Chains A and B, each alone.
Chain A
């Protein structure tokens, strides 16, 4: 895990819109005025959320992705004062999201919540068949392999970044990626031959 104390991030100039529908607002964060802290979180939220949803969808499927990403963001908000002291708070929320998405129990709960709200929400945009099959195979990989693949392709992360995000060694990430590639290649070949 990266818990380096450094200049906090979250200072980009992206548009600020309220996240109060999702989160309680106005919580004061030590070292930052409440409005400044809130603004930093808003920026962080808007900057990180889209890819966080993609990460959750890659690892958990479309049904639960939004809820899982929001849940990761909710945790980030609850720990925001601590995250502000981190060098890379985005690494923290990505790791949380990846863990949530590969936790079967939480995935089921998020899927159940999503089903309840299905009628009131926009439908997930469908992926093309081959891409859907690819992510489906990723979801069948062991947890760490799936997380490594998703971070590699969705965030363009190199091995070191993946290791820092997941809190493990570079060596183990290399092994995870290698084994994932082998498994994916073998499975996709099998699928191709099966459909031929």
Chain B
């Protein structure tokens, strides 16, 4: 079939579709509008013919292999593959996973100048979930596959488990737990009235994920449990809530194990937890790492707002004392198995997050670093600010 015939068919099919859409609507304005469209179409048909000729040229170029040479496309992996330990972030170029950039159907950031006002990006083993801040839609984007809307009207945006298939988000007061591999919602619960939902859209989101607040309020997402910090006043931390996926029961996390009256649960990984506890220091709070079978370990030199890596082997935070400066400014990574603290070798003001594996993302001003916590090395990523980091 020639492209001109294709154009004719397409226009006729569009005409008929517009007619059927107008059936049952008898307003004069609607008819007039449709007529206007049709007149426009006739007016642009000459342009369409030119476009058809251009298309024929493109076809020739494609067949001559010129097109693909001038626009190299990376080999697409099978949809939903495990992409390995690569840094993931979003910026103007799209959704990055290592050296591959995928386009998203929606803009993930709601910007105020260069500042990200709203947006959430979460990882699961075979893809990413993100919030469309313009609509509240939650999208699942399988790596190498077609993104699809899986939730709506979410203020919090999603969270996920980079080592698993489960994601969670709030739709209004409902907690939704979603299995990305099975493509089905496994729980949709309305927690009882005492339980506050996670942080809303007006609070610090993925951009300030791990510096001031733990992302959008979610601490742990798995097939067994979902744990989130609520924010009754819209700011800061409220109680930490635990939803048992199997029983549907919701409980409030107990912080007594750390042995302090004033303790907030900051993050959870399996049975390990990290708390923010009150002290008499200048900051007023410091970090306590609680690993089963060991005495709680205190870190007075780092900001308690910290996050476990997906494996739980590392903890990222900010505030390691820059040598000689007396200021707490750089990113810090703690090996939770040995308790050793590694100040990331930069001393600029930092935000940090985790990607897959033990790859930490560290933003220092306009630069984004990927730091391998195991190897203790960092490299600068080709990221253009403002970039959105994962909020798992």
User: Which residues of chain A have a CB within 8 Å of any CB of chain B?
Assistant: 1, 12-15, 17, 46-47, 49-51, 53-54, 57-58, 65, 75, 78-79, 82, 92, 96, 99-100, 103-106, 122, 124-125, 127-128, 130-131, 134-135, 142-144, 149, 152-156, 158, 166-168, 172, 175, 177-178, 181-182, 184-185, 188-189, 192
5 extra A-B contacts, CB within 8 A, seeds A178-B58, A178-B62: A15-B28, A103-B147, A106-B148, A125-B23, A185-B2
Contact B18 A50 (CB under 8 A): yes
Give A168 to B102 CA distance when docked, in angstroms. 12
What is the interface size of chain B, counting residues whose CB is below 8 A from a CB of the partner?
51
Shortest beta-carbon distance from A54 to chain B in Å = 4
- Of A50, A106, A181, the residue contacting B6 (CB under 8 A) is A181
Shortest beta-carbon distance from B216 to chain A in Å = 20
Q: Which A residues are CB-close (under 8 A) to B6?
A: 181, 184-185, 188
Assuming the A-B contacts A142-B146, A153-B11, are A124 and B20 also in contact, with contact meaning beta carbons closer than 8 angstroms in the complex? Answer: yes
Contact B17 A135 (CB under 8 A): yes
Q: Does B295 contact A (CB under 8 A)?
A: no
By beta carbon, the residue of chain A nearest B111 is A3
Assuming the A-B contacts A143-B146, A153-B13, are A188 and B18 also in contact, with contact meaning beta carbons closer than 8 angstroms in the complex? Answer: no
Give A188 to B13 CA distance when docked, in angstroms. 13
Contact B58 A47 (CB under 8 A): no
Shortest beta-carbon distance from B102 to chain A in Å = 12
Shortest beta-carbon distance from A144 to chain B in Å = 8
Q: From residue 269 to 297 of chain B, which have CB atoms closer than 8 A to chain A?
A: none
By beta carbon, the residue of chain B nearest A182 is B59
User: Which residues of chain B have a CB within 8 Å of any CB of chain A?
Assistant: 1-3, 6, 9-14, 16-25, 27-30, 33-34, 37, 40-41, 44, 47, 55, 58-59, 62, 71, 103, 105-107, 134-137, 146-150, 153, 183
Contact A50 B1 (CB under 8 A): no
Give A154 to B40 CA distance when docked, in angstroms. 11
Contact A103 B17 (CB under 8 A): no
Contact A188 B16 (CB under 8 A): no
